[in-house]
Structure 1
């Protein structure tokens, strides 16, 4: 049984619920993700982000190498972004997330990351690594606030960012 199967179905924080993506999230998913400012720093989300991409994302949530959660508002259950863990055979678990631009600067990203890390800690899942472009100070602050520390400075090999400075951060639980 993998660590992925030990993660909770939902994670509650003060203002958020992290839960599985649903078909009912697709409109909000497309509206929030189809923004170059949101997608540019990600490694793989397509631009423009269209309904077909959202439908494919919701349909693929059962895959074993990725455990995504929708970052939803606790009161309205409306999607604000996505967070998840990536599981690898040959390296530590990876963290990825994005938040819709209208939700930036309100503390939702660190709250979601903290919630997911608490769940990871409860099942003994550590270390967890995150990769962030060096020109993304907002994401660097989120990761540092939540206990990640820079362990490597390198350059990106992802096509969208090839050759750009990249930081690898690690959380050790």
Structure 2
């Protein structure tokens, strides 16, 4: 199944493309965005966004992966974040996301996760998701809690500055159903 375009409130979620490279490079190459995401080089390379998008486009042909760019409807060509779901054996988690610092605190990522989790649970019929986040990332924790995740364990992840504690979360269809009702 291909990644569909999804709309909710003031945002549009659509598969990103190479045309979105400049906006991604502009918004993602920010220490405040990158510091809580494992495996991202810093300083962020000048071709980082292009390499990432090319890799995801290739992955979408070979693996079960769904990825969206986050766009505000008043600026429909300006990618301000991404969210992706990965369902293949060599991944230790199913979902990752980031949002431009200028858009933090507005509920955008909670809305994006809500809409995409509907797709994952109701269209793809997935029974659960595993997600991870740096223990100190309060904003990511808040999104997870609002969208039905519960901590099921701890792990050590590779982040800037070395190995750091991370939370391992699970979202199930029943936990999403309860959270979804609370968000309405």
**Higher mean C-alpha displacement, 133-142 vs 82-91:** 82-91
Query: 1:126: which partner in 2?
Result: 127
Q: Is the 8 A contact 2:84 2:95 kept in 1?
A: yes
Q: Which of 34, 39, 46 is equivalent to 2:34?
A: 39
**Aligned pairs for 1:6-155 within 5 A:** 8-60=3-55, 61-63=57-59, 64-77=63-76, 78-89=78-89, 94-122=94-122, 123-155=124-156
**Higher mean C-alpha displacement, 38-47 vs 90-99:** 90-99
Distance 2:128 2:91 in 1: 10
Answering whether residue 161 of structure 2 is matched by residue 166 of structure 1, we say: no
**Higher mean C-alpha displacement, 111-120 vs 46-55:** 46-55
Distance 1:89 1:155 in 2: 19
Alignment partner of 1:164: what SS?
strand
Q: What do the CA deviations read for 1:86-143 (whole angstroms, capped 9, x no partner)? A: 2222777611000010000000111111111010012211311110111111110011
Q: 1:48 to 1:91 in 2, by over 3 A?
A: closer
- C-alpha displacement at 1:26, in angstroms? 1.5
Aligned residues: 167
Which 5+ residue runs of structure 1 have no aligned equivalent?
none
**Higher mean C-alpha displacement, 147-156 vs 29-38:** 147-156
Q: What do the CA deviations read for 1:146-168 (whole angstroms, capped 9, x no partner)? A: 11111112322x25364322100
Distance 1:91 1:139 in 2: 19
Q: Could you list the runs of 4 or more consecutive aligned residues of structure 1 that deviate by over 4 angstroms after TM superposition?
A: 90-93
Distance 2:164 2:92 in 1: 22
